[in-house]
């Protein structure tokens, strides 16, 4: 999959904007791993002699734009979008019920972890829109989660391409190892943030009581 994206974008004028557009479409439900697109963006930046930092910023906006579109569709069409038969292939009723249960239990905090739940991300964001969650709250939580993952994978692609260049076999081996370390670090940060949030909520409720 990585090689296919590189072949598609490397020699095209879309080497910088191609991953951006793909990320926007991924936010709408394209079944393509977001981390692969971000790694590809980092590789293309290194290949073109660009710094990874502005590319990561651009990719962050692409991620947020794609997520915002599905959120605003949910806001605009509400329950009609989720009830539409054509949407049941992407968001089956059982998945919709699971998303609603998550919102009932955890509230807006679900938006922070939704980025790391590929099968539930789009339904969660459209449900958040339908439930009239304020857009700024949505953008804050989603943008914060994207800050944890987007720069990491763009930098990873940039660094690995500088190290291994066209040796795709060694690049894949290194990517599979470092990718798990990165995901593990993100998981630790999210778990720690969630525990702090739960403790603060418990502390406030105890003091009010």
Q: What percent of the chain has pLDDT over 70?
A: 63
Q: What pLDDT digit, counting tens, does each position of 10-48 carry?
A: 777 777 888 899 988 887 777 788 888 898 899 899 888
Range of the domain at 40: 2-208
Q: What is the pLDDT of residues 146-195, one digit of tens each?
A: 888 899 889 888 888 888 776 677 776 766 666 666 666 666 666 666 56
The model's pTM is 0.75
- Residues 60-108 have pLDDT tens digits of 999 999 999 988 888 887 656 555 555 555 566 666 666 666 666 666 6
| pLDDT for residue 89 | 58
Domain count, the chain: 1
- Helix intervals (H) in the chain: 2-9, 17-27, 34-47, 52-77, 79-83, 93-106, 110-114, 121-130, 135-164, 168-208
Instruction: Enumerate residues 6+ apart whose C-beta is below 8 A from 102.
Output: 110, 120, 124
């Amino acid at each position: 999959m990585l090689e296919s994206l590189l072949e598609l974008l490397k020699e095209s004028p879309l080497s910088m904007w191609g991953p951006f557009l793909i990320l926007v479409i991924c936010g709408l439900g394209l079944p393509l791993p977001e981390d692969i697109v971000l790694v590809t963006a980092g590789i293309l930046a290194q290949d073109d002699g660009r710094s990874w930092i502005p590319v990561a910023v651009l990719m962050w906006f692409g991620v947020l734009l794609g997520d915002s579109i599905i959120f605003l569709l949910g806001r605009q069409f509400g329950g009609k979008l989720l009830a539409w038969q054509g949407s049941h292939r992407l968001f089956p009723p059982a998945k919709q019920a699971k998303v609603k249960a998550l919102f009932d239990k955890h509230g807006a905090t679900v938006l922070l972890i939704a980025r790391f739940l590929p099968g539930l991300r789009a339904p969660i964001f459209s449900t958040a829109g339908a439930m009239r969650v304020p857009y700024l709250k949505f953008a804050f939580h989603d943008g914060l989660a994207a800050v944890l993952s987007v720069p990491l994978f763009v930098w990873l692609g940039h660094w690995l391409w500088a190290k291994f260049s066209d040796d795709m076999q060694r690049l894949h081996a290194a990517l599979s190892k470092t990718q798990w370390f990165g995901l593990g670090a993100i998981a630790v940060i999210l778990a720690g943030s969630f525990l702090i949030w739960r403790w603060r909520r418990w502390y406030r409720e105890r003091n009010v009581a």
